[in-house]
Amino acid sequence: MPSAFDFAPFRRSTVGFDRLFELLENSASGQSQDNYPPFDLIKLGDNQFRISLAVAGFSQDEIDITAHQNQLIVSGQKREDGDATYIHRGIANRSFERRFGLADHIMVTSADLNDGLLSIELIREIPEAMKPRKIGIGSGETRRLDAPSRDAGRPKRASKQLQDA
């Protein structure tokens, strides 16, 4: 189903944003997502995040976490308990798959299952090449903004006029 908003004018005037427009079109298309299992997104710091999923009844070996091409996929496959005879089954026992879109440079650092909550820790690590850098005018040299200059710590030479005096 096409989106109600036309992104064509933006596509014509931008370069490299194809993935962003595809995400916007897919989210705006009204795809109904299953709300199971419920989850929380938590911002722990400027570059640290946590996803907490309620996966009561699932063990570690029944859950699979995969990070691939800016997408985090969490899936669970419950094994059948053939020995038990249930009178009432109120705890969800269905398989699930949750997908989370990850921004560039977001890395999964760890995952932990405790008390029915699956916690996935994420961090944003910006590569050195992407950090701002100072461009010297006329010197032909570049350096990172937070790096000391080459002349830091060197004694200054006296000018020729002072040396002749």
Contact assessment for residue 70 and residue 18, using Cβ atoms and an 8 Å cutoff: no
Q: Where are the beta strands (DSSP E) in the chain?
A: 39-43, 48-54, 63-67, 71-76, 96-101, 106-114, 117-124, 133-135, 142-144
pTM recorded for the entire structure: 0.62
- Tens of pLDDT, residue by residue over 92-145, are 778 999 999 888 889 999 999 999 999 999 999 888 888 788 888 886 665 666
145 beta partners: none
Domains in the chain and their CATH numbers?
Answer: 1-32 (no CATH), 33-81+89-127 (2.60.40.790)
